[in-house]
């Protein structure tokens, strides 16, 4: 979207394609942001942040709808990074903690792992798909790595975001109700510290205003507007999930069902050609019902007899 709109990077001072909010105000929960730019304005006198002319100038800016799947994925990434950062800050990101996280992931049927990058002290972890991230949002219990009071706050933050994600996909949800839910979620995200550190009365909050990301800004300020404008169809009608699924299938086909542009002589074929050939055959057999007509061949395993 940034390329199509000729927009700056999301980490720039003016990060939002729809409003003039700046990076300094991204975590200001009292600031009200609405869709204030128009395509005509961008074409004639580009607002701050727009460095090039839009590619598709015939499409109104209100029709550039944010993708609900990407909002979930990117906010999930931020929440997970904040959890790991907190563990590292408290010097708790050790083998025992990692083992607890892996055990909890196994409990909710998620294939997940940590590994240390060779020659460094950095740890990487499995990149989860959208469905697995939903499971973590819904089921992961942070009591396995945090104290009960702290875990309660983080669990509540994650469960509330899971509810928000389901609501943003629903065509029946009231946009005003969703806006209130999103603001309450941001308030919870920005739960402040209470009392003085290192005292009995001190209560740890959650996160800081500078931890708010552009996707959170869109979730709270602009998504309700788009839900109201396109309530007839629902935001799911504009989802990029099918495109991402198609991309995932083609990447899988490249590694599993092609020679990766390899081969010699007449055997050498383009990987793209092989993928299209495989997809065409799959479509043909599906349309003709060939899969149902013929049973799959059975493999017979013969064991060698011991002498």
| Structural domain of 55 | 1-64
Classify strands 114-116 and 123-125 as parallel, antiparallel or unpaired. Answer: antiparallel
Helix (H) or strand (E) holding 178: helix 175-189
Is 303 part of any domain? no
Kindly report the backbone phi and psi dihedral angles of residue 302, in degrees, each rounded to the nearest multiple of 5, phi listed first: -105, 120
For residues 42 and 97, state if they share a domain.
no
What is residue 172's predicted lDDT score, i.e. its pLDDT? 85
The answer as to whether 255 is a domain residue is: yes
Residues 6+ apart with CB under 8 A from 123: 93, 98, 114, 115, 116, 117
Helix 148-169 with 130-139: angle, nearest 10 deg = 130
d(CA 167, CA 184): 14
Task: Please tell me the predicted confidence (pLDDT) of residue 293.
Answer: 59
Within a domain: 140: yes
**Does 307 map to a domain?**
no
Interatomic CA distance for residues 211 and 82, integer angstroms? 8
Residues in the chain predicted with pLDDT less than 50, given as ranges, are: none
Please tell me whether residues 20 and 46 are part of one structural domain.
Answer: yes
Q: Given this model, what pLDDT does residue 167 score? A: 92
Residue 114, strand partner residues: 125
Structure tokens at 142: 């942070």
Same domain, 55 and 118: no
Strands (E), 33-83: none
Q: Which two tokens stand for residue 155?
A: 């669990």
Residue 300 lies in a domain: no
Whole-number Cα distances in Å, 157 to 46, 100, 265, 282, 302: 37, 20, 58, 43, 56
- Whether 101 and 207 map to the same domain: the answer is yes
Domain count, the chain: 3
Q: Is residue 152 part of a domain?
A: yes
Note the pLDDT of residue 222: 92
Q: Are residues 286 and 203 in the same domain?
A: no
What percentage of residues in the chain have a pLDDT greater than 90?
41
Q: Provide the token pair at 113.
A: 């792992």
Q: Are residues 254 and 273 in the same domain?
A: yes
Q: Are residues 87 and 184 in the same domain?
A: yes
The pLDDT score that the predictor gives to residue 263 is 67
Pair 10, 56: CB distance under 8 Å: no
Q: Are residues 37 and 124 in the same domain?
A: no
Q: Is there a contact between 203 and 194 (Cβ–Cβ < 8 Å)?
A: yes
Residues 73 and 207 in one domain: yes
Scored b (16 or more CB within 10 A) or e, 194-217 reads eeeeeeeeeeeebbeeebbbbbbb
Domain shared by 54 and 75, yes or no? no
Are 169 and 285 in a shared domain? no
Which of the listed residues 48, 64, 80 is the one where a domain comes to its end?
64
**Residue ending a domain, choose from 64, 91, 116:** 64
Residue position matching structure tokens 């395509």: 39
Task: Give residue 291's pLDDT.
Answer: 59
Specify the pTM. 0.80
Tokens of 93: 């990101």
């Amino acid at each position: 979207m940034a390329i199509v709109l000729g927009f700056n990077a999301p980490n720039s001072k003016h990060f939002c394609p729809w409003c003039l909010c700046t990076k300094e105000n991204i975590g200001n929960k009292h600031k009200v942001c609405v869709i204030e730019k128009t395509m005509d304005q961008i074409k004639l006198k580009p607002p701050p942040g727009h460095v090039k002319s839009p590619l598709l100038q015939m499409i109104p800016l209100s029709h550039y709808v944010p993708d609900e799947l990407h909002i979930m994925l990117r906010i999930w990434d931020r929440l997970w990074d904040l959890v790991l950062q907190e563990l590292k800050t408290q010097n708790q990101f050790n083998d025992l903690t990692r083992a607890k996280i892996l055990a909890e992931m196994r409990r909710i049927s998620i294939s997940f792992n940590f590994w240390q990058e060779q020659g460094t002290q950095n740890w990487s972890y499995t990149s989860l798909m959208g469905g697995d991230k939903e499971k973590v949002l819904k089921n992961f219990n942070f009591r396995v790595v945090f104290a009960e009071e702290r875990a309660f706050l983080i669990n509540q933050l994650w469960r509330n975001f899971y509810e928000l994600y389901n609501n943003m996909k629903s065509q029946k949800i009231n946009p005003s109700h969703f806006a209130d839910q999103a603001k309450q979620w941001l308030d919870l995200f920005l739960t402040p510290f209470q009392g003085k550190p290192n005292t009995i009365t001190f209560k740890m909050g959650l996160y800081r205003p500078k931890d708010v990301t552009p996707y959170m800004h869109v979730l709270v300020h602009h998504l309700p507007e788009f839900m109201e404008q396109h309530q007839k169809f629902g935001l799911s009608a504009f989802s990029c999930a099918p495109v991402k699924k198609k991309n995932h299938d083609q990447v899988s086909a490249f590694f599993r069902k092609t020679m990766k542009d390899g081969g010699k002589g007449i055997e050498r074929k383009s990987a793209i050609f092989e993928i299209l050939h495989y997809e065409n055959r799959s479509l043909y057999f599906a349309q003709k019902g060939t899969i149902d007509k013929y049973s799959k061949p059975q493999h017979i395993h013969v064991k060698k007899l011991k002498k």
